[in-house]
Amino acid sequence: MGKPTGFKEFDREVEPYRDSSTRVVDFKEIYTPHDGQHLVTQGARCMDCGVPFCQSESGCPVYNLIPEWNDLVYNGRWEDALDRLHKTNNFPEFTGRVCPAPCEGACVLGITSPPVTIKNLECSIIDRGFDEGWVVAKPPEKRTGKNIAVIGSGPAGLSAAAQLNQAGHLVTVYERADRLGGLLMYGIPNMKLEKEIVERRVQLLRDEGVVFKVNADVGRNVEIKTLIDDNDAVLLATGATVARDLAIPGREGPGVHLAMEFLTASTKSLLDSNLEDGNYISAKNKNVIVIGGGDTGTDCIGTSLRHGCKSLVNFELFPKPPEDRAANNPWPLWPRIYRVDYGHAEANALFGEDPRTYSINSKEILRNEDGSLKGILTIEVDEQLKEIPGTEKTWEADLIFISMGFLNPEHYINESLGMEIDGRGNFLANKSDFKTSVEKVYAAADCRRGQDLVVRAINEGREAAREIDRDLMGSTQLP
């Protein structure tokens, strides 16, 4: 439980990001080096709360043993803390960087005081594990002779592959992109998750026996029916990659892009040539508008700033959140409060104000006679999202990025199989066994349940692996 009186003695102090005005000129990670003694003090704030909601369903989707590794850090037992962390989470180096930390929203200390810095502690434990050489490949001692194909190398596919491989099965992961990691590689910018960190974990999985195939687009240049015939099980972990678009006049034409078109091209060009090949959508000297908030919207902001945009505005349909929890948002639910993420802070440092404009609805994208982008027409809305007459406004724009979430997976795999989908367009599979309507085919995470967090994808990959192992072997020892 850390220090019995630690939560009364020490204040919450989050590890700072690099300075906004300096980090915005590069694509290196925004984080500063860990301070071990500082983290020991923060671990001391973890209290003997009886029921640790941080590791419950409302807190951590992978059910991390948070109070245990907080206590171990406080007592200087970092390697033991790493063992505890790996019991529930295959990739804490990912979640420790990109997870919004619902565990902190559910922290019991957070009822009356700022919560424990759980995310910082998680990231520091795994980073120290790599630095000290404690994280090494551990191939399974025996093989079962069962072959499993995993389609998609995002967090769900990787966690499922890791678990199934540890159970002794022969796992091959198919990725349609030219690099492995799925969302982790091309959906999250380098400054939030450096790609060497993704590649490091993938190499560990290779060393443990997992086979990876890139440029392998199952359903197009790889036959899905062949994979089913050649394997004992096939797991679909393709993600929810169909973006929610903006159906307003003027949408079609140059200058308007879905967020992932922008982010993917930028990261690929960065990795291929340090942005020297020009194969990306450049925001340099452009007036940029990002429609939609959330993590992806913030990533569009941060990437545009690093390109050197001229101006930047972020449209939010909903009202500005309150500074503290509203009455209808009690603990331990995720606190829907006003936050300043890394991109917002950077925009403020460069342009002198927060880039977000709230309660605004996009009505029409404006174009010049030659079809080039001119701007966008908006109108303000009230708390019920009803338009307020007389509040129309025209905004100048050279680039508009649409970041309004994702709907469902692409359907070319399931259509070729005649596989059933649910009412929202997701692959139909039960949460209990992850089986689809096609024999030997399973589905997990975003392609099954819809867009969600990286940490939840990791959890579903683990759960699906357990059920596949049970089906193939009659029982399972996987957690």
Domain end (from 343, 376, 404): 404
1 lies in some domain: no
Do 308 and 334 share a domain, yes or no? yes
268-297: average pLDDT: 97
Confidence of residue 71 (pLDDT cuts 50, 70, 90): very high
Do 292 and 382 share a domain, yes or no? yes
Do 177 and 302 share a domain, yes or no? no
Domain end (from 404, 429, 463): 404
142 lies in some domain: no
For the chain, percent of residues with pLDDT exceeding 90:
97
Do 208 and 288 share a domain, yes or no? no
Closest by CA position to 158, among listed 141, 177, 178, 183: 183
Do 157 and 92 share a domain, yes or no? no
Tell whether the model's pLDDT for residue 1 goes beyond 80: no
Tell whether the model's pLDDT for residue 3 goes beyond 90: no
Confidence of residue 323 (pLDDT cuts 50, 70, 90): very high
In which domain, by residue range, is 451 found? 147-241+407-473
Task: Say how many domains are in the chain.
Answer: 3
In the numeric block, which tokens belong to residue 439?
């024999």
Look up the CATH number of the domain holding residue 200. 3.50.50.60
Domain end (from 131, 165, 195): 131
137 lies in some domain: no
138 lies in some domain: no
Do 343 and 249 share a domain, yes or no? yes
Do 123 and 182 share a domain, yes or no? no
44 lies in some domain: yes
Do 197 and 259 share a domain, yes or no? no
Confidence of residue 454 (pLDDT cuts 50, 70, 90): very high
Do 219 and 291 share a domain, yes or no? no
What pTM, to 2 d.p., does this model score?
Answer: 0.96
125-167 residue pLDDT tens: 999 999 999 999 999 999 999 999 999 999 999 999 999 999 9
454 lies in some domain: yes
Q: What is the Cα–Cα distance from 90 to 103, expressed in whole angstroms?
A: 17
342 lies in some domain: yes
